[in-house]
Every structure is written in C-alpha cells, then in structure tokens.
Amino acid sequence: MNRSATHIHLVTEFILLGFPGCWEIQIFLFSLFLVAYVLTLLGNGTIICAIRWDPRLHTPMYFLLGNFAFLEIWYASSTVPNMLANILSKTKTISFSACFLQFYFFFSLGTTECLFLAVMAYDRYLAICHPLHYPTIMTGKLCRILVSLCWLTGFLGYPIPIFFISQLPFCGSNIIDHFLCDMDPLMSLSCAPAPITEFVFYTQSSLVLFFTIMYILRSYTLLLRAVFQVPSAAGRRKAFATCGSHLVVVSLFYGTVMVMYVSPTYGIPTLMQKILTVAYSIMTPLFNPLIYSLRNKDMKLALRNILVAAPACIATNNAKEILFLRILTNICCCLSCSL
C-alpha cells in the first residue's frame, strides 16, 4: 500500500476499465482473447517440446528459439489472464500490489523480448554472412551466456524505477482507462508530479528500444546484402522469405511499442492506445511461433517425426506426454499450413 500521504485517503486498489462496449461485445472480446491466448500457449509450447524431443534441433538457433518461445508464454501470461478475468468481473478491480507486480513483469518481459530479438538477429547474421565461422563463434556456451544476459538485463533494469513510482501518492481517482497497469495511466493518477522518475523510466525504455532496433536493422541490412550475392534464385527467394517474415514481426512489435513509449501519447485516443497494446502484447506472441519456427522446414520435420513416433510410444511410461504433444502438434501444424 502507498503510505506517502497519510492525511488523505490513499488508493489501495485500482479499477481497470478495459475495453468499452455492451455485454455482448465483452463476451466477444473474451472469446477472442481466450482463443488467442490458448493458441499462443499451444504454439509456443509445441516449439519447446519439439526442440526438447528432437536431438537434431539441439543447435544454437533452436536453443534461442526455445527460450524465445518460453519468453512469449510468460509475456502473454503477464496480461491476458488478468484481462480475461477483468472482462467477466463486475467490479474490475486490481489490488495496488498486484497492479505494480503486473507493471514490473510486463515491462521486464517486454525488455527481455527486445534483447532476444537482437540476439536472434545476430545469430541469423552469423549463420548467413559468416557460415564457416558460425560453429566456432555461436557455441553452446555463448548461447547460454547471451540468453542469461537477456533475462538478467530485462528483470534487473526496472525494479528501482517501478519501486519509486509505487511510492508516489495515489490519493485521488483510482480508475485506469486501460486493460493493464501501464506507465501513462498510473502517472496520470499520481497526486504529485515526478518528472525525474518519468524521465529515467522513459529514457531507459527508449535506449533499450533504440539500440536493439538499430542493431536488428543493421544485422538484416548486412544479411540482405549477402543474400543479393547468392547465385541461386531459389536461395535468394528462400532467404528473402525468411528475412521478410522476421522483419514483419519485428516491425509489428517495435512499431507499436515505439508509438506507445517513445513518442508522446497525449494526442493518441485511449482506445487506440489499447489496440496498440494488444498488437505488441498479445498478437506478437501469437504470431512469433508461426513466423520463426512453425514455417521452418526443420521444425516441421521434427513435428512430423513426433506424429509418426507417437503411436509406438503410447505404451511407454511417457504415453501421456507423447499424446499431449501429439495434440499440440496437430493443432500447430494446421495453423502453420494455413499460413
């Protein structure tokens, strides 16, 4: 609870208004977001299982993809379950501590995702531009170090700024016109200005976004330059298709995030801010497994092998795991084929 102002009533909980609309619209949104969340769990969960089960996928690229899929599950889980419960709730309240806990995990996981995208761009750059040196540079040890740095940097960067924000006096309205606890809505409810805290928070977020996106664009620029030198037309088309799909996801994520946290949001309608937040916090975790992995030939082959091997394994002690993985694989193969 915020104890920075004792002479007035202090806020102990917030009200998340979510999306406007009648009950029918709320049920439609609930169904839509529930399906998206379930598919996110299935798609990313299938990637993790396939990489674990198939020894041929025990390579640096798939090690990064597996960790990225794990990250996407938690990134979506930091917002969607509470949003679903909030849609069905009559009070739409969230406690003070739960609000700031969501705030912390949402930004920490988002920062980790930016770092992961940069590391994955570096991996693709090495694989295509320096294929002969790739095995000696991108070793298992280096992968583990890069992954650990992504997680540690993402989660150690925001505790102090968010702690200071939580100590601000929230003594007036407790209504947040959003479906999650975000920076701008919370600062608008504070009874005291905190320009230094805001400056530090937004500077930190902007630096992470700027340096990672610049590195990603530089890596893909060099990568595309190398692709132009490929003599085979089929090879160029394959590389362009891979780079293009990756850049679509990067553009969707960074474009919406930069609009929200780098450019001023005062002139953006509240509904548009919610839609932008849905785009990078719910849609990108849903699309990333399809773009990065399930359209990959090696991943598809691994999923088919699991489907073929599943009947022979049903009688073993791992029958339940195999059956569950087979269900996931069937669903995700249908999704990848539809794309």
**Structural domain includes residue 223:** yes
**Structural domain includes residue 313:** no
Could you tell me how many residues make up the chain? Answer: 339
**Structural domain includes residue 317:** no
pLDDT tens track for 3-33: 444 445 578 899 999 998 889 999 999 999 9
Residue 336 pLDDT > 60: no
What's the mean per-residue pLDDT of the chain? 82
**Structural domain includes residue 194:** yes
**Structural domain includes residue 256:** yes
Lowest mean pLDDT segment, chosen from 13-27, 132-146, 223-237, 324-338: 324-338
Residue range(s) defining the domain that contains residue 59: 13-308+323-335
Q: Give how far Cα 97 sits from Cα of 13, 94, 100, 118, Å.
A: 8, 8, 5, 32
**Structural domain includes residue 1:** no
Predicted confidence at residue 319, as pLDDT, reads 53
**Structural domain includes residue 128:** yes
Distance between CA atoms of 71 and 292, rounded to whole angstroms?
14
**Structural domain includes residue 315:** no
Predicted confidence at residue 290, as pLDDT, reads 78
Q: How many domains are there within the chain? A: 1
Predicted confidence at residue 93, as pLDDT, reads 93
CATH number for position 146? 1.20.1070.10
Number of H helices, E strands in the chain: 14, 3
